[in-house]
Structure formats: structure tokens, C-alpha cells
Amino acid sequence: MKIVAIDVEALVKFDVSKKSLQEYKSVFASLLKKPALKKAQDEELLSELAEYTGLNASDEHEKIILKRFIKETQQLVFLGVSNKQKEKLFYDDVIEYLGELKREYKLVLLSTLPEDVVLPFLHVHKLPLFDLVISAPASALLESCRRKTGKPACVICFNEELLQSCRSSDVKSILSAWVEEPSPDKRALADEVASTVQELSQSLSSILK
């Protein structure tokens, strides 16, 4: 069975990851009563949490605990932000089309977000479409997919780094131009460009025939 991979950016209208990144730091800023933490870097946030909790950020074990606090807060806020936006969160026609594709192809979801953020997100929003979820930096997503399930026949995405990986790995790509109008450079990287589900269907037919 051929593999069709799709980047989570091609499914979600509202930029949950950026919004949750802002909000999770606001949670700590409020907790620690330090508004400046809203714009803090991770190491600064870690240091402030260490001072607040009494844990030692220089101790390897205690640093892991501090990082877990941050990670679990990120998960909580990510789900909260996406739940607030659930009525306008997804490209519903794309989701519906993927349901049809699932009958013939193995569907893999690609994401730069941690797996333990993505999996609860899919569960809460009832998206049991995907045979596999792969989380990795954009530059490593294709290699991770190849190792875990095989080389995809096609990748649907908007992420420029992922498009570049497709080109260098000889994997066909479709640029999801329904997300927003892509730059000429981004268009040039893709094998096909689709602005609608109808165009996506035509592009996939051409690639997978």
C-alpha cells in the first residue's frame, strides 16, 4: 500500500502552536508574578522555575523534573488553545478528503510538534485518520518516516524545509496552497501546487497513477 504523508500545517487553519507558545509562557509569568517571562527564552524560564521550586537546574535529575513541568504546561495550553478554536480549527474539506484516501492509501501525519502533544490533540478532536504519527524536526521528518514505515509516495505540506527535504530525497510533494498564498520560491520547490481539494485530488492522481 502506497504511503501518503501530510504535514499538520496543511490541516489546521488556526496557528495553534504559535498561540500556545505565547500562552504557556504567560501561565508562568502569572504564576511567578514576572510579566517579563512572557518573552523569556527557555533557559531563563528554567532558571526562574528552579528558584521558585527550590530545585537545582544544574543537577541533571532535577533539571529533567523542571523540563517536565514546562513540557506538561505546553501540552495543557496547546490543548486548551485548540479547544477554544475548535469550531474554526480545521480545513474540513481536506479532512473529509483524507477519509476517502484512507481506503486506498496508508496515511502518515508529519509534525514538528512533540508526539505527546500531537496524539492527545488528535484524540480530543476525534481524528483517527492516520495510520502513523511522526514527530521530528522538519529536516528529519522524511528520514524518520522512511525508517518507521517506508518512503512516502507523496508528501502534502506547506513547510518550506519539508519541501526542500522532499526535493533532495526524490519524494514527490504537493504544496498546500489553501493555507495561504505561497511565495514563488516555495512554489518552485513543489512538484505540484493545490489551492483546493479538487486540485489536490487531481495532483495526487497524477503523482500516484
Q: What is the pLDDT of residues 39-97, one digit of tens each?
A: 888 889 999 999 999 999 999 999 999 999 998 898 889 888 888 888 888 899 999 99
Three-state DSSP at 54 gives: coil
Write down the pLDDT at residue 177.
95
Residue 114 CA to residue 71 CA, distance in Å, equals 9
Residue 96 CA to residue 121 CA, distance in Å, equals 18
Write down the pLDDT at residue 115.
83
Domain residue limits, the chain:
3-14+88-208, 17-84
| Average pLDDT over all residues of the chain | 91
* Over residues 160-182, mean pLDDT: 94
pLDDT-based confidence at residue 163 (cuts at 50, 70, 90) = very high
In 13-112, DSSP assigns E strands to 106-111
CATH superfamily of 3-14+88-208: HAD superfamily/HAD-like (3.40.50.1000)
Give the side-chain half-sphere CA count within 13 A for 19: 16
Write down the pLDDT at residue 21.
73
Q: Residue 139 is placed in which grid cell?
A: 529536516
Residue 162 CA to residue 140 CA, distance in Å, equals 9
0.85 surpassed by pTM? no
What are φ and ψ of residue 137, in 5° steps?
A: -55, 150
